[in-house]
Structure formats: structure tokens, C-alpha cells
Amino acid sequence: MNISGICSFLLITSIAIIIKCGVIVTGQLPPTGQALIEQNADRVIDLPGQPSVSFKQYAGYITVDESHGKALFYWFFEAVNNPEKKPLLLWLNGGPGCSSVGYGNMEELGPFIVQGDKTKLVLNNHAWNKAANLLFLESPVGVGFSYTNTSDDLKQLGDTMTANDSYNFLLGWFKRFPQYKSNEFYISGESYAGHYVPQLSELIFDKNKTICSDERINFKGFMIGNALLDDATDQTGMIDYAWDHAVISDRVYRTVKRECDFSNPNTTDACYTALNAYFDVYKIIDMYSLYTPSCVNSTASSTRRPFMGGNVSPQTFSKNKHWHVKPRGYDPCQPQYTEAYLNTPSVQAALHANTTKISYPWTHCSDIITTWNDAPKSTLPIIQKLVNEGLRVWVFSGDTDGRIPVTSTRLSLRKLGLNVKEDWTPWYFKNQVGGWTIEYEGLMFVTVRGAGHQVPTFKPKESLQLIRHFLSDKKLPTIPF
């Protein structure tokens, strides 16, 4: 090819790239055309029992696979003040198979909490939309109001499908809400979100390197709490924590230590028997919060989840049916208030939910997801990669949680081998110690004193301070104020 031909080829190629990628735009893009129509259709106006608020909220579905009829349900709250300037935060609960709308939104960090009469909402004065625009996603399909018209999808679920569908959801959501495309974007979550959040973060990070600038997500970092990170150290830490907090006897502790090798997913009969004795104690106290009461209301729904088979982490503990228990909040009967409210037809209509008339009721944790196909034994390699790439990474831990205790998280993070910049340092909320921090090279670890598995439920004021400091990339206060 002569020089003239080469130049013509390059010119045509450049034009094609420009047409494909469009114009790189900074700042917010106001919604127009189809996006504006869809946005207005998702606006939540008359939510039953809701107090008056100044911020806007939206809820509805984003289709993530047209051919399968697969759609994920979201609920989005604008920041209380200056939403155009605030970051966008996606919150994910774990399970796997549990609802971010039910737990994260309505019982932890969202703007509304269902009252005991199950018909009225009260304001959460420490909701995280005081710090960010707040997006809750029910993922994967089969969770909450999210659905698929292809039943075989429920047999294919696992970490990989969840990450891919969540990424496709975000692409669709930003098309519907283009005004938030340039805002800084962060992800947070708890429990099995120790898988979901790093995996989705890695997918976004890798995709951003291969797609056009105007299609990229302005992703800056993630924060995970009481998170499942590494099978071996997580499970070891759970046993150590239970013994150290006087939950199990010396005999049970020694037997589990002798019979169980948590680095090996092939559980022996002797280990399984030993773990049964460990789980027996958590039938009478709350594993998710050692020092709070259980719900004694006789009408409360069962706290047992369906047994889930397959390759779900942790690959030893998850084989025990007693592991599959729903978490409860500070008011241990709160989940039944939430379930009653979200199953009310007028509430579903206001949220544009259950539009396909799903054949089962809304539940905190899915009754139809019983198989999980893939889950790595550890997400630490992903975290290591994203720390090395300079993303902001914080890990927090409520220190009265027996489910994924602070002991487990400390053992897991130690595996990363990161240099410590500032060791065990108290942080304060006003005049009280809120917990302790370890600042590693590229990662911040925060404990939250007196908080169970769902940290924002137990320590709402402290958790709001935590998210504000994470988003602004500032250390927590080290002196009373």
C-alpha cells in the first residue's frame, strides 16, 4: 500500500472510531428523549406511609439480557443536598441470594425504615444519601423483585454471572440516568459482597481499559464490611472468635481445630460433626450480633434460609445447613416489618416492582436460589490487584459480629502482605472511641466498636461518619471532637 493509501486508511479508521465512541463530554448530561421518558416513568411519587422529603427517588427495572428476559430491580435515592456534585454509591448485600433493597436500604443505610405497624415509614436520620447519591440493586436474578423469564438461568447462577449482570445493569442504568455518568462512582457492601464488590470492581476496571472514554464508568474505589474474603482465614477466624468471646467451649474449640482443615474444601465426617456442635450455640443466640436479643414474636417468619448447594464460599461452612440463616437487625423483628411492607400491592405499584407478577412473595433472601456454580476460595488476589492499580480500598468490620468476625478479616488482610503505614489507632465519633484503624499501603482497615454484621444498623451515626470519610479520602478523627 502506498503512502496515500495508508493515510486514507488511517483517516477512515479515525472517523470510524469517532463515530463509534462519540464526543468525550465532561460534566453532567441532562436526560433527554428516551432516557427522560424512562426516568420519569421510574420516579417514585406516592410511596405508602412515606414522610415528606426533599430529595427525589426512582425505582424500576433495567433489562440486562433481552433474549432471556432478564431484568434487575433497583431503588435509587438522590443525595439530600447538591446531588449533581455528590458521588454515586452502589450498595450490594450478599448471601448469596439476599436483597440489597431489604437489608441495606430498609434496615441499614437507606432513607426509610418500616415501623412496627408495617404500614408507615420513618426517616433514617443517618441515611447515607446525606453523603452520596445512593443506588441499591437486587442481584442476581431470583433475588427480591429481580427476575428472569428463562428458568435455566437460576441453575447457572454464580459469582461470574452476578458480576456480568451487575455490570450490564450499570451500563443500562447510566443510559437512563446520564446526568450521573461523570460523577465519581464507588461500590460498597457487606458479607458475601466481599465477593460481589471486588469482582464487579475488577470487571469495571478492566472494561474501562478497553472501551471508549465516553462509555467508561468514572470508578474510583470500593469499601466492604464484615466481608467474606478468604475461605481458610475467614473460617479459622470464626472459630477463634467464637472461643475468644465465650460462645463455644474449650472442648468444641479443640475438636474443630483438630478435625477441620479449612484450606481443604473436602470436609470430613469428623469435621462436619465438630461444626454441628459449633453451630448449635448459634441456634440460641444471634450469630450476626452476639449481644442483642432474638425476636420472640411468634408471628415472625423463619430465620432459616433454604439450603444452598454448589460451589458457594466458604466451601466448608456453607455445606452445613445451619450456615444458611438470615441476619436480623437491632430490632430483631425488623425483617418481618420489611417483608410485610414490600409485599403490599400498593407499595409494589408505587415502586414499579413485580410488574410481571412473580409467582412467589418478596423475601429478604431468595427461596428459589438453591444452587451456586462458581465462587473463588479467595478474593484477596483481586483486592491486591486493585490496590496495586491505585483504587481506593477500605475494609471495615463491626466487632460484635460472629458471622464474619473482625478476627477473620484481620487474618485475611494479613495475607495481602501490605506494609503498615500506621498501626492500631483509635478513631473517634465525638467524645467516644468509634473503633480502631490500621492504615496499610493502599488500603484502610476500620473496626466499628459495638457493631454487629450490619454495621449501619447498629452504629448509624458512626457509619455515616465512616462513609463520609471514605468518599472524601480522609482519615477518621484520631482525637475527640
Alpha helices of 222-325 — where are they, by DSSP H? 231-244, 250-259, 269-281
* 401 is known as an active-site residue: yes
Give the separation between CA 458 and CA 270, rounded to whole angstroms: 37
Q: How many residues does the chain have?
A: 481
Residue type, 105: N
Cell 427461596: give the residue.
367
Q: Are the beta carbons of 74 and 67 closer than 8 angstroms?
A: no
Distance, CA of 8 to CA of 105 (rounded, Å): 55
| Pick from 52, 104, 57, 127: nearest CA to 225 | 104
Between helices 231-244 and 269-281, what is the axis angle to 10°? 50
Instruction: Tell me which amino acid residue 115 is.
Output: Q
> Rounded to an integer, what distance in angstroms lies between the CA atom of residue 231 and that of residue 459?
27
Strands of 241-347 (E only): list them.
309-310
DSSP state of 121: E
Per annotation, catalytic residue among 139, 166, 188, 191: 191
* Torsion sign, CA atoms 159, 161, 163, 166: negative
Distance from C-alpha of 185 to C-alpha of 170, rounded to nearest angstrom:
11
**Whole-number Å distance between alpha carbons of 409 and 235:** 10
Q: Which residue has the cell 448485600?
A: 93
Dist. CA 41–CA 48, nearest whole Å: 18
Q: Which residue do the cell numbers 467516644 mark?
A: 432
Active site (annotated) includes residue 331: no
Q: Which residues pair with 435 in a beta bridge?
A: 427
C-alpha distances in Å from residue 234, one per residue of 259, 428, 453? 17, 27, 14
Both ends of the chain: CA-CA distance in Å? 72
Does residue 453 have an active-site annotation? Answer: yes
Q: Which one of 401, 408, 412, 463 is the catalytic residue?
A: 401
Catalytic residues: 191, 401, 453
